[in-house]
Chain A
């Protein structure tokens, strides 16, 4: 008991409970957390739990296992906060939040790097997938209907776009969106919104930007 509480600190936050993990072995941490829950099952019944894993690097099987064991105890894991990009990526894959309502201080540092960093995604984004990035986003693959990309910079898709793309999300009106086939359900650049919806018979690469009149428009890509 003594050991369990010192490994994992559980406290109440606005969105439910937050368990802060110390830097111990993952299995021990899970064990300690579950032990605490088993000790007071009525308190944890139906709780929404976020975990702060610090610098732990977690793979999908780690989190799936913990989530399942929590769900057996009727505790729903909804957020995983961590410093490692791998952990953050894993959490996103599983549809878990990676931030809780209180913004973390790192966010501001990230914004500075926005100008010259890009997120490279080497697969098709399927329905339900949401990618948010404080820089540019490059996708090698399609963006299917129901997927969303929100980038502070520009978005380039080497494939078809059927989902929603928001470039310049923090207000950059010079951001652009380009794709091999741009028949998105909706495009947004900064505050401009455009529902293009014109499936083409023979799609050509297009680039969407805000024109001098201030409207979002897309045009066929011309080289040179």
Chain B
């Protein structure tokens, strides 16, 4: 675990750059992390981020399928918003922990 300065704030992050504390998150941090991932955040991104944060707050699991069927975005748009590895990037930007793939 390391401490990192993001958007002028000192926050604790995991080795992979995920915030340790969900409550340390704010919009500026999201914009800064997104920039590192090469993503410029739009209102649509923030809708998805809000959905993810609410899901996590409710203690529910996150899947690409679940987000794709949420009514917020479909799977294809989710990929366009967070190219490459959408769930990994979106959770990192949303300041929640990395989803575990359990197999």
Does chain A bind chain B?
no
